[in-house]
Amino acid sequence: MSLALLQDARLFQLFLWADVDLADDVRVGGCTCGGVLHVANYWRKPKGVPARLAPDYGLRLSFCCNQDDCRRRRTPPSLRFLGRKVYLGAVVLLATALQHGLTGVRAAKLRELVGVSRRTLQRWREWWLGAFVETRFWREATGRLMPPVDEASLPASLIERFAASGGERAQVLAVLRFLRSITTTMALRAS
């Protein structure tokens, strides 16, 4: 994986378009109570956003039911955001994958590109190896990934599994599509 992907504004724009499509699917589906979903977007302050993207890139697409007795929030899955993490999902994925070959120079370059510290990288690595592998999502997904993904080298081994003919950009997009169901708070909870 290349560090240049972390500054590829076209790739991050693809994530936004995918999020719009996912949000449209949720809106059309309506609320489980039968109510109509109204726009209830909210602002995030994500770190790691390439400079060439619009300031509204941090807008998290979401909906709220119009029924007074319901008013449930429906936040669609996302390719931009990885749960409640402050950094963008692609940054968490790629920077942690690059950590397997993390040299002092590469760590300094990551800090320069997206502002991530070595300590934060270590915390993300612990999340991938601990909390992530304990989620219901991962336990179910590992049964579909044959041969099994090497959990000790997550997320790099997961990225390798999604080798795509479209190069690194398509590979990252495929992994984030695979992970999209863990981008909402409820999906991240282990059972």
Does residue 187 surpass a pLDDT of 50? no
The answer to whether the beta carbons of residues 171 and 164 sit under 8 Å apart is: yes
Mean residue pLDDT across the chain: 88
Share of the chain above pLDDT 90, in %: 52
pLDDT bucket at 188, cuts 50 / 70 / 90: very low
pLDDT for the residue numbered 190: 38
Residues sharing a CB contact under 8 Å with residue 53, sequence separation 6 or more, in sequence order: 9, 12, 13
| pTM for the predicted model, two decimal places | 0.87
The answer to whether residue 191 scores a pLDDT higher than 80 is no
Instruction: Identify the CA nearest to 12 among candidates 87, 121, 97, 116.
Output: 87
SS3 16: helix
Instruction: Specify the number of domains making up the chain.
Output: 1
Q: How far apart are CA 32 and CA 62, in angstroms?
A: 15
pLDDT of amino acid 137:
92
Residue 184: domain span: 3-188
Q: How many CB atoms lie within 10 A of CB 10?
A: 10
pLDDT in tens, 70-83: 999 999 999 999 98
Mean pLDDT of 5-10: 89
Phi, psi of 59 (to 5 degrees): -75, 120
Average pLDDT over residues 32-49: 93
Best-predicted range by mean pLDDT among 44-48, 50-54, 184-188?
44-48
Say if CB 133 and CB 154 are below 8 A apart: yes
Q: What is the pLDDT of residues 80-117, one digit of tens each?
A: 999 888 899 999 999 888 876 667 787 788 888 888 88
Contact call for residues 43 and 59 (beta carbons, < 8 A):
yes
